[in-house]
Structure formats: structure tokens, C-alpha cells
Homo-oligomer: A and B are copies of this chain.
Amino acid sequence: MSGNGKPVGVAVLGLGNVGSEVVRIIEDSADDLAARIGAPLVLRGIGVRRVAADRGVPIELLTDNIEELVSREDVDIVVELMGPVEPARKAILSALEHGKSVVTANKALLSISTGELAQAAETANVDLYFEAAVAGAIPVIRPLTQSLAGDTVQRVAGIVNGTTNYILSEMASTGADYAAALADASALGYAEADPTADVEGYDAAAKAAILASIAFHTRVTADDVYREGITHITPDDFESARALGCTIKLLAICERVKVDGGQQRVSARVYPALVPLSHPLAAVNGAFNAVVVEAEAAGRLMFYGQGAGGAPTASAVTGDLVMAARNRVLGSRGPRESKYAQLPVIPISLASTRYYVSMHVADEPGVLSSVAAEFAKREVSIAEVRQEGVVDQGGQRVGARVVVVTHRATDGALSETVAALEDLDVVQAVASVLRLEGTNP
């Protein structure tokens, strides 16, 4: 294949970290990309909010008229890197309606509008690629949609947010509390001025929705994903985790589950969880991401790499861009959305996993028995209990702490148990409830 076919026109929307890198690669690697595509990629324009001479690209490429740019005759592919949900949604829909293929990294948009975007791509018979929307440079979307297309995915569990992984890694290694670790992450540029989307798990939930959708051939939106952030995690939690041979990670978990009667359902959830140190995800530290996929025939696979940053994300975006361009040149199309299974998503109360419950209790005989009875009543089986004295600064024993680790139980049963424990006279407070993932039941 030679690189001298009819040029493929590209419009890039957004000129932030990722957009600038994509523009750089299109220019610096022009010969290689042309050879791989079979035709040169030509940058027709860059959509920005503010047209100015100091953006590092020829000013005549810049435009703030997105609508005009995405509908240009000589544009074949639109690369959307503007975020947030709007105006990106409008621009992508307009591009698709004008018959352009679209590459996007916009997880927030995809996690609420996949159906709408996929339908528009289908109607226009063009490509909609979004490898960069989950786990940055790490190929996850393509392996799930293509490599595992003949397999049955049972579970996807990943560390898909670099900010929270940096904060939790810091807390684990330095003993810092949440506020200090967040301040550290901000100082290093790993956390945004308003870190809410990351630390409250919204970003991970959007990615979980995308992963669950493709893994289970079912449309799952961010609203279907149960979500807890990491702001309540304390150094005490890390100490307890260590005592149990674990660390704490914010996980996005997508599971195929069977409910009574054998029907299949999907569970999608994001929360901080205890993870055994022997589990491969436990060793994923700092701003790195990793996704573990368990499939019936393939067994356990792991994908690891940089989940964010301008260059890594640009790598995934340009990969998609080259594939979309090749399809244009060859008159082909890439994989479509697969949503045939349409498995219902279960509420968190029906999801089951293991739990760690830490509580402050009265320092008197019989407490353990009362606590254990509440678990037993709701058929939550206890795997391990530890009771230890709590001492004040003078070394005087002032109370006791009980830590319970359960076998597998539903979240509903566990929540009821915790509510009942809080009502017990001998329990002063339930200090912490965390899930335990990545172990056998």
C-alpha cells in the first residue's frame, strides 16, 4: 500500500494537552501515517474557543466556528478533544450527521450518550472510535470489542483513575491522610483545581459504564453505576488493610452476575476496596492505570500502562485516527456498537462481594457475641474477627475496636447489618465499611 491516495482531511476540536500532542504527531509523523493509511492525513482546521496567535500552530488553522469546521466538505474525520459534555455532544452529532467519522476521548459524554452517538454513527455509516476514553494509552476498548469477541467476559476490574490512584498510593506509602495526599497530588499537577470528578469517583464511574457496555454487549450509562469516592479513607483504614495483607485501591468493577433463576445481569460499581497485596492490581501505583479482564476461555488478562497525560492519550487517539482513515481509504468500517444482550443492571444492594467492617465498641465481655449475632441474623458469614484494645495518649485503655471480615454477601444484607450494628448499645460507632475484592470467597 502506498501513501499517495486521495488525502484524508482531519479536523481537531480542542487544543489542550491532548489536542496539541495529536496535532504534533500528525505533523511529525506525516510520512509514517501516510504509509500506514495509504493516503496523507491533512489537518484542515482546529476548533478552539479563542483564536489567537500564541497557540503554537499556524493561526489560519484555528477557528472558533466549530459547526462550520465539522461540516466542511474536505473534512473526513473529526477528532473531538474539547470536553466537557457540551458543546462536545453537539459537535460530534453534527459531524456524524455530516458523514464524518469521529474519534473522541470524551468519557463523560460517552457514558451518558453512547446510544445516541452510536445510533448517529450507524445512520451515517461511519466510524465512532473512543479507545482513549478509558485508561489513556492502554488498549482496552479494542481488546474487549475485538480480541475477546468470541469469548464470554465475566469480569472487568480496573484502576482507571490516575488522580485517585496517586492519592491512595501516597497514603499507603507515607501514612499521609487524605487531605495531605490530595494537596501533594495538586502540587504535582495530578489533581485538578476542583478534584470532585476524580475523588468522588465520577470519572471512574463513566469509564465503568463504557467498559460494562462493551464487555457485556449492553448499554450501561453512568447513572447505572454505583459510585463511592475516596474522601472518607483514613490512615486507620490503611493500617487495617496492612494487617489483613491488603492495600486500598479505587476500583471500577463490571461483572456478569447470575440472579435467582439463572438469568444474567450486570453489576457496575466504583468504590475504594481492600485488595490483597498478592493481586496484580495491588502493585499498580502512582498515576498508572491497569485493567484486569476475566473471560471464560481466555482466563485472566491484565493491561497496564499510563492512563492519562497528553502524550499517552494522544497515542490512543492517533491510533483510532489512523484506523478511521484506513477505513475511509479502503471503503471499510470498523466494529459497530454491540448491544444485543441488553442485560439489566442490578442495584448495588443485589451485588455481592466481601466486606471489612471496623467499629468502636464498649470494652466489656459479650460484645463480640452481640456483634457476631447481627451478622448471623442476616446470613452474612464471618471469615475473620479481630478485637483490640484502644489506648489513649497516656497508654490508658479507653475502649476496644472490632474488625470483621466477611465471606461473600450481598450489599443489601451488609447494609442492614451495619444499620443494626449502629443501633447496638455496645457499638459506639461503625468507623469504616470497605469492600474486599480480588480474593476467593
Interface residues of A (CB under 8 A from B): 1-3, 21, 25, 29, 32-33, 35-36, 131, 137-139, 142-143, 146-152, 217, 280, 283, 295-306, 311-312, 314-323, 326-327, 330, 332-336, 338, 340-341
Contact A152-B306, Cβ < 8 Å, known A137-B301, A299-B137: no
Number of copies: 2
Are B340 and A150 in contact (CB-based, < 8 A)? Answer: no
A142 CA / B334 CA spacing, docked (Å): 13
Smallest CB gap from A340: residue in B: B35
Which of A139, A303, A317, A322 is the most central at the interface, judged by chain B CB atoms within 10 Å of its CB? A139
Determine which of B35, B142, B150 lies in contact with A315 in the assembled complex, contact meaning CB atoms within 8 Å: B150
Please, which residues of chain B bring their CB within 8 A of the CB of A312? 297-299
**Closest CB-CB distance, A146 to chain B, in whole Å?**
6
Contact A147-B151, Cβ < 8 Å, known A312-B299, A315-B298, A332-B332: no
**Closest CB-CB distance, A59 to chain B, in whole Å?**
25
Are A319 and B139 in contact (CB-based, < 8 A)? Answer: no
List 13 A-B pairs, Cβ < 8 Å. Answer: A21-B297, A25-B151, A29-B150, A32-B152, A35-B338, A137-B295, A139-B148, A139-B301, A149-B322, A150-B318, A151-B318, A296-B311, A299-B311
Are A319 and B131 in contact (CB-based, < 8 A)? Answer: no
Please, which residues of chain B bring their CB within 8 A of the CB of A296? 311, 315
Are B302 and A315 in contact (CB-based, < 8 A)? Answer: no
Are B36 and A338 in contact (CB-based, < 8 A)? Answer: yes
**Closest CB-CB distance, A32 to chain B, in whole Å?**
7
Are B299 and A302 in contact (CB-based, < 8 A)? Answer: no
Are A340 and B3 in contact (CB-based, < 8 A)? Answer: yes
Contact A36-B315, Cβ < 8 Å, known A21-B297, A137-B298, A138-B301: no
Smallest CB gap from A293: residue in B: B305
Are A297 and B137 in contact (CB-based, < 8 A)? Answer: yes
Are B336 and A315 in contact (CB-based, < 8 A)? Answer: no
**Closest CB-CB distance, A248 to chain B, in whole Å?**
21
For the complex of A and B, list the 5 residue pairs with the smallest distance between their C-beta atoms, beginning with the closest: A150-B318, A139-B147, A137-B298, A297-B315, A298-B315
Are B315 and A305 in contact (CB-based, < 8 A)? Answer: no
Smallest CB gap from A326: residue in B: B335
Which of A143, A330, A334 is the most central at the interface, judged by chain B CB atoms within 10 Å of its CB? A143
Are B149 and A318 in contact (CB-based, < 8 A)? Answer: yes
